[in-house]
Structure formats: C-alpha cells, structure tokens
A and B are shown apart, each in its own frame.
Chain A
Amino acid sequence: MENKLTIVVSEKKPKTIFEKIWDAHVVKRAEGYPDALFIDRHYIHEVTSPQAFDGLRKRGIKVFNVNRTTATADHNVPTKDQHLPIKEALSRHQVETLRKNCKEFGVELYDLGHPFQGIVHIIGPELGLTQPGMTMVCGDSHTSTHGAFGSVAFGIGTSEVEQVLATQCILQYKPKTMKIEINGKLGKGVVSKDIILYIISKISASGATGFFVEYAGDAIRNLSMEARMTICNMSIEMGARGGLIAPDETTFNYMKGRKFAPQGEAFDKAVEIWKQLPSDEGAVYDTILKYDAADIAPMITYGTNPGMGMKVTDRIPNVEELKEINEQVSFKKSLDYMGLEPGSALLGKAVDYVFIGSCTNARIEDLRLVASIVKGKKKAPNVEVWVIPGSKQVEAQALKEGLNKVFEEAGFELRGPGCSACLGMNEDKVPPGKYCISTSNRNFEGRQGPKSRTFLASPLSAAVAAITGKVTDVREFI
C-alpha cells in the first residue's frame, strides 16, 4: 500500500515527530472526547483476536479494510515439530480459530509453516509492512517495537482490536511526550538491550506511564535498526504508551527492497516524506531525560519487574535503601520469589537455563552476536540453552550463514520460530524454581512458567552465561 502521508509543515509551532504523526491521523477531535485516530497498519495474532472477530459477527459487520491487517500465529505455537498438528488442544483450537476467522473475513495470515511466519513484531519490520510515519497497533504491548522506524505504534486490548477491525480507527487520548537522550560512546560489551534496561532501572517500571517516548542522542543514532527495535520494544516496561526513534539513513537503507515497502520511484518519494518526520528544532516535550552512554554497563535484572535491574557487577539493594514502606514490602516479596538476598551480588550465580529469543532479541543480528561469542566453545554442563529465531526468515538466514552449526557445536538447541519461553504459554517453559538468563522483556513472577525465575539481560550476557553456566560480566570474556 502506498504511503500517502502528508505532514503539515506550514504551521508555525514546532512539532515533535510524535505530534506530527498523531495529528496527521486524527479523523475527529471533539472537546471532551478522545481523538478518533486512523490506524494505518494493524497486526493480529491468535491470542487477542478471537473475541474481537466474535464481536464483528455479533454486530454483523466486516473488516473495514483487510489490506491494513496482517495476521500470524506466534504465542501458542510449539517451537519443535512445527509441521505436526499442535499437541495441546486449547492452543490448537486458538490457532485454528485464527485460521477460520482470517478466512471468513479475508485477512492475510502467515500461518505455521509459511515462510513469513514468526513473532508478529519481528515479521512486520522484516516484510517492510512497518514504515515510518505510520500509526500502528496490535493486541500486544510490545507493539512499541515498530516505533524504531519512526512510527506511532502501541499495544491495545481486544475490545480495541475489534474497534480497529470494524472501523480502522481507535479512540485514544493523546499521551504526553518524553524525550530520552543518550549521548556518548557505549563501552565494551554494552549493547542496546543494556541501554533500555539501564533506562528502566533509572526511572522504574512505571516511570514513563502516560508518555510517548522519543529516544534520541548520538548513542541511539549510531545503532542498527535491529538494535533500535530492542530499545523501542521495551518502552512498555517503563509504562510508556510507546517509544519511537526518528527515521534516518539507517532506517531508509533497512527499508529499501523489503517486500511490502514502496518500490522504485515510489520509494524515493516515500523517503522524501519520511525525511520531514524528525522533530522540529524547538519542539517542546513534557519531559526530557538525558543519560551518558559511558555510564551504561552490561545490565541484569534481579527482581520481578523490569525496573529492578542493575549493572551486572552491582549488588542488589538493601531493604533499608528503599524509602517507602509499601515499596519495601513489594521488594521483599520479589526477592523471596527470586530466592535472592538483599545486598548480595549476582555475579557468579549459577543459572539453569539460557533463553535467547522473543520480540526483544530474536533478530538475525542478535543470533549473530550470540554466535560470535560462542563460536568454537561449548555450553556449561549445568545449563540448557534454547535459541529461538524470531521468524522463519530469521531461521532461514541463520541456516544460510551456518549459525546453526555454531550453536550445535556449542550444545545449544536451535528451534523453530515463536514467542517460546518468553511467556510460558506454549510448550517451552522454565521449570519451577529454576533460574533462566533470558533475552526477553519480562521477569514477572511465573512469566516463563509457573515459579520460574528470570534474569533479563542482553544476548551477549546470555551467551556468556551459557558458556560459563553462571552470571558473568561479558567484559571479562571479550
């Protein structure tokens, strides 16, 4: 679909990129009402869409424009033997319901076995469906991932999925704006996952609630698209409505030639429009935060929300360091769950599982990063290591580059694409009480399986832990 977005540049008031995109998509603004916002691109998956399709049936209406919605199956799918029927009855039913709904309503589905199937937030960008300047939603909080292209992308609930299917619009109040600037040079062993874990540890799991975040500064600018997606992906983990990064040459180079991106002359025209997107000089943000890239180290979480993170060499805070009594109670509950002592270090702590995957870190660049560390080495005997590519295309590329050989020799298990052990919904689960160092996005209680314990970290840190069998400072290893 051709992107005909027009950005109004004649207005005198300087605008942020977020305001430019939002304002260009407001179908109706009325006093006292939320904005009716037009949605360019809608992704759906099997878990949060069945009740929405039911709603359409009950109302007797069709999907507004089937060309703007794309479906895939990712949350429930097994990562082994994907060619066989799904063993678990309820998961199978949910995926079959998606098939039935997509067929009935005429929505394109990248089903299990399709060469484009994969985690919804991995396939959208790699197919070029995700484009700068778009408004995008999905019934999944990590929809913020797509903001890496300079789009306004956010997660929604199922009632809202139904709204978008029925009307191509969503009713939303315009969030406040926050700019987070990271300037300077990243240290050795520090990658984009560490940047976002660092930011969340600074502002907490609710620090950006009510805001739409723009990430800026030269440390962000110097990142690849894959690395930018990792950062935007976790915007929701500090409560943000979404997070975005202004498009630039890195973005345009990534977009060029993608299957659903504009082609030829249309691409050049699109780039001219996209170049108008970055925030104007003098644009005003409700909040601005600035951090020095040099202060960021390889990060790890120790608690049960992504705000409970620290430099891998730090110690877990003591209870007394927390000011409020409520905070202390929740903090103690969290450490009890994790089986960790306040004031202790995590370095050297043995882990049982290593999970490399999820919409945060399962792109080809992540797999290359892991392979670069483990090449010629073997995993520690005490750990089980799962590498789950984000999509069929990532899997195919990994095979083409021979990364599968590297993983195989290291004793890692490379499986098929899906959400896998990120959310304990499919067959891949971390057993009760076990510790998993994970490249995913959430360390909530039971997230990776009932009573599982998660340490969130970068693919580099996870790869090193797979070799040593314990929490390790990657800087001592490279």
Chain B
Amino acid sequence: MSKDKFTILKSTAVPLPVENIDTDQIIPARFLKATTREGFGDNLFRDWRYSSGDEPIAGFVLNNPAYSGKILVGGKNFGCGSSREHAAWAIYDYGFRVVVSSFFADIFKNNALNNAVLPVVVSDKFLQSLLAAIQKNSKTEVTVDLINQQISVDGKSEKFEINAYKKECLINGYDDIDYLLNLNKEVREFDLTH
C-alpha cells in the first residue's frame, strides 16, 4: 500500500517534554477496539488531554491554542511499552508527521516508519535547545529535511540517522510488503525446510 511521501517538512512544533511516554498514554487500551486504522487521533493522549468528564484539560499542550503543527517533540524513551500500532496511527491521524526525541523505543520506531511518521533522534543537547526555542516562541518553525537527514531550528542544525532502506521507503511511499512479496520463491523454499 503506498503511503504519503516524505522529503522535507517545515512546520511549527508541539512540545511534550515528558520522559518514558508509553503507548498506553498515546492511546489508552480502551480505544483500541476499532477494526480500521482511522479515527484514533481524537483519542490521542486521551487521559492527559481530557478529564474523566470529557472536558479538555487546560494545562495539556494539545489543548493550548498557541501550539499546533506537524511536529511533536517528546522526552527520552518515547513510545515505550505496548507494541500497539494504534499509537502511530493516532499520531498520524491527529496530523503529526514527525516525532522528535533523544531516544525512541524500538517497536514504536518501526510502527511509525511503517505509517509515514518520521521518528527523528536528536542529541539531548539539541532536544533541549529545540524545546527551549518552541517554548519561548510557539510560532518557531522547525525544518526536517529527510533527504539531507538534517533538522534545523533557530539557525541551529543537527544531522540525524535513518537507515537507507527506510529512508527510501519514506521518500517513495513504499512499504515492506512490496519488498517481501518479491522474495516469494526463496521463502517457499524456507517454508519447506524450516
């Protein structure tokens, strides 16, 4: 299935400087009952965003009208815990295309990449300066350049790592199944011998 293509993104960003944001926070289990991939954005960070009476919680950044944009900036170990891909779907469905953190949990990183959401790993130092910049001025634009693997804000830039294969997939909108289906003959042999 072809996904969105990603090359360069210029956007304002939303700061969420909490460490160890687990996928139960991103999308609580009680909202995993859908059988499609759409609509999860409404419940993104549900229990941080809304009270038990479904009232928006004023202090939470997604309820702060000053902040918007396609880039979410989170603390260390973003996406830990449950493997639910619904977390990546919720982030995408809400409108984010990039998540920036100094450290991502493995499964979340894979899930994000499989859903046209780019996880950008930056140094702790860059993360702090990025957070400071957007917290100082919510209109600050952040540039994420996938081709050159570079993230920039306020004249400061940092290179980020992404493996060549996943980069190619994101740029062209390919997914893993397209690649694996081409191996059908080899896999048939494995199936008989394993």
Q: Do A and B bind each other?
A: yes
On A, residues with C-beta under 8 Å from B are 3-6, 24-25, 27-28, 32-34, 36, 38, 40, 47-48, 50-51, 54-55, 58-59, 61, 64-65, 68, 75-76, 90-91, 93-94, 97, 139-141, 155-160, 162-163, 166-171, 173, 175, 205-206, 209-210, 236-237, 239, 241, 304-305, 307, 326-327, 329-330, 333, 423-425, 432, 442, 444-447, 450-451
Enumerate 17 A-B pairs (CB-CB under 8 Å) in ascending A order: A28-B183, A33-B179, A36-B179, A38-B187, A91-B33, A93-B35, A156-B110, A157-B107, A159-B85, A162-B177, A171-B180, A175-B106, A239-B106, A304-B20, A330-B75, A446-B28, A450-B47
Q: Is B194 an interface residue (CB 8 A)?
A: yes
Bound-complex Cα distance A24 to B30 (A): 39
Question: Which of B64-72, B76-84, B132-140 binds A?
Answer: B76-84
Which of A94, A157, A173 contacts B111, CB < 8 Å? Answer: A157
Of chain B, the residue at the smallest CB distance from A445 is B25
CB of B85 within 8 A of CB of A34, answer no
What's the least CB distance linking B190 to chain A, in Å?
4
Q: Is B37 an interface residue (CB 8 A)?
A: yes
What's the least CB distance linking A87 to chain B, in Å?
13
CB of A209 within 8 A of CB of B20, answer no
Bound-complex Cα distance A327 to B128 (A): 13
CB of A141 within 8 A of CB of B180, answer no
Bound-complex Cα distance A156 to B111 (A): 8
What's the least CB distance linking A174 to chain B, in Å?
12
Contacts known (A64-B187, A160-B114, A205-B20); A48 close to B77, Cβ less than 8 A: no
CB of A155 within 8 A of CB of B111, answer no
Contacts known (A159-B176, A163-B177); A206 close to B25, Cβ less than 8 A: no
Taking A171-B165, A237-B81 as known contacts, 4 extra A-B pairs with beta carbons closer than 8 A to each other, sorted by chain A number, are A28-B186, A38-B190, A305-B80, A423-B82
What's the least CB distance linking B22 to chain A, in Å?
5
CB of A444 within 8 A of CB of B81, answer yes
Which of B32, B47, B83, B163 contacts A157, CB < 8 Å? Answer: B83
Residues of A within 8 A of B103 (CB): 206, 209
Residues of B within 8 A of A93 (CB): 33, 35
CB of B52 within 8 A of CB of A206, answer no
Contacts known (A157-B85, A239-B80, A442-B81); A326 close to B175, Cβ less than 8 A: no
CB of B18 within 8 A of CB of A330, answer yes
What's the least CB distance linking B48 to chain A, in Å?
8
Of chain B, the residue at the smallest CB distance from A55 is B1
What's the least CB distance linking B154 to chain A, in Å?
20
CB of B77 within 8 A of CB of A239, answer yes
CB of B186 within 8 A of CB of A209, answer no
Main secondary structure of the interface of A (DSSP, over half): loop
Bound-complex Cα distance A5 to B29 (A): 37
What's the least CB distance linking A97 to chain B, in Å?
5
CB of A90 within 8 A of CB of B33, answer yes
CB of B1 within 8 A of CB of A163, answer no
Bound-complex Cα distance A446 to B47 (A): 8
* Proximity bits, B13-26, A CB within 8 Å = 1, else 0: 00001111010110
Bound-complex Cα distance A155 to B111 (A): 11
Q: Is B36 an interface residue (CB 8 A)?
A: yes
Bound-complex Cα distance A50 to B111 (A): 16
Q: Is B91 an interface residue (CB 8 A)?
A: no
Contacts known (A450-B28, A450-B47); A166 close to B177, Cβ less than 8 A: yes
Q: Is B105 an interface residue (CB 8 A)?
A: yes
Residues of B within 8 A of A432 (CB): 52
Q: Is B148 an interface residue (CB 8 A)?
A: no
Residues of B within 8 A of A59 (CB): 1, 177
Pick the most buried of B19, B76, B184, B186: most chain A CB atoms within 10 A of its CB.
Answer: B19
CB of B52 within 8 A of CB of A36, answer no
Bound-complex Cα distance A6 to B194 (A): 8
